[in-house]
Amino acid sequence: MNLKIGQINKLEVLKETDIAYTLTNGTDEVFLHFNQTPRHLKVGERVNAFLYYDQKKRLCATLETPLITTDKYGFVEVVEISTGGVFVNIGINKDILLSKDYLTLSQNGWPKVGDKIPCILKVKTNQLIARIVNKNDNIEQPHLLNVGSNTEGVISKLSPNGIGIYTDDFDFVFIHQSLLRKNYRLGERISFKVINVNQNNEYNATTIQNKEFSRLTDSDDILNHLKANGGVMHLGNASTPEEISKVLHMSKSAFKRAMGNLYKQRLIEIEDHKTILK
């Protein structure tokens, strides 16, 4: 079969029956019901048709334009919760299952009706399903955020280490668990403050309010920076005051006191130009 399921195909109207059209790519044929087209079609006409499986797992077409496809990601709204996962509205007449395989083990972490979650489609054994996007999808990030800026995003990943978020522009942001103040769910929209951009050009952020953040000690600042960057900081005993100020916004004397405190607690290993979290 040369038809691309879960994508928009350029097809020709082969024939018309009492209830539907038959579309073809010259080799394969697919059913297009009259209620899936906004106008009358002519035999021989070429149309852009999205292909999906109906509830009986039959391949069919619609001229409605989907919000997401198997090669196009976007935010889709949760419209129903079921035991097998949640259903999302992708802009066609059939809601698509976001399987529990892509959700958390506990339903407490599942999206709620009305949440909008970043997804892409996937074909799975005569079924079209949705899944939450991830970094392996090679999403092109616009990098529109600045360190110190406050913004919002939707939670797309929950892990023991923290949460992953996509902004409306699909910049990916990670918040370490030490910088969270509550438990969250997938699809939840939250506000956060960007505190760092790591070596992979990914953002690290915090949900701690400014009045709380200002009460953190210099040692806490260093620990949070280490945790947000995989346990490694490219500052150490030989770092200059300018290097320290650029990364941590503190003086070298304050840096040395804080580092000494963490070293005494056996929380870090210090090298000339690197610090490692134990």
Which tokens in the block code for residue 242?
A: 């300018």
pLDDT digits (tens, 9 = 90+) for 216-261: 568 888 988 898 888 999 999 999 999 998 888 788 888 888 898 8
Going by pLDDT thresholds of 50, 70 and 90, the confidence category of residue 1 is low
pLDDT digits (tens, 9 = 90+) for 72-101: 999 999 999 999 999 999 999 999 999 999
Say yes or no to pLDDT of 209 above 90: no
Say yes or no to pLDDT of 43 above 90: yes
Give domain status of residue 238, yes or no: yes
Mean pLDDT of 14-33: 93
Residue with tokens 């097998």: 84
CATH number at residue 244: 1.10.10.10
pLDDT digits (tens, 9 = 90+) for 163-187: 999 999 999 999 988 888 889 999 9
CATH number at residue 167: 2.40.50.140
Give domain status of residue 139, yes or no: no
- Residue 18 falls in which region: left (phi positive, over 0), alpha (psi -120 to 50) or beta: alpha
Q: Where in the sequence is the domain holding 242, given as residue range(s)?
A: 216-277
Shared-domain flag, residues 98 and 122:
yes
Give domain status of residue 180, yes or no: yes
H or E segment to which residue 248 belongs: helix 241-248
User: Which of 161, 177, 211 delimits the end of a domain?
Assistant: 211
User: Which of 195, 211, 227 delimits the end of a domain?
Assistant: 211
Shared-domain flag, residues 239 and 270:
yes
Range 93-101, long-range pairs (CB < 8 A, 24+ positions): 93/35, 93/36, 93/62, 93/64, 94/52, 94/54, 94/55, 96/52, 96/121, 96/128, 96/129, 96/130, 97/127, 97/129, 97/130, 98/129, 98/130, 98/131, 98/132, 99/129, 99/130, 99/131
Going by pLDDT thresholds of 50, 70 and 90, the confidence category of residue 71 is very high
pLDDT digits (tens, 9 = 90+) for 119-162: 999 998 888 999 999 878 878 877 788 888 899 999 999 999 89
Say yes or no to pLDDT of 215 above 60: no
Domain total in the chain: 4
Which tokens in the block code for residue 3?
A: 């038809």
Give domain status of residue 142, yes or no: no
Give domain status of residue 1, yes or no: no
SS3 content of the chain, % helix, strand, coil (to 5): 20, 40, 45
Do 192 and 175 touch, CB atoms closer than 8 A? Answer: yes
Give domain status of residue 115, yes or no: yes
Q: How many residues does the chain have?
A: 278
Give domain status of residue 2, yes or no: no
Mean pLDDT of 53-79: 94
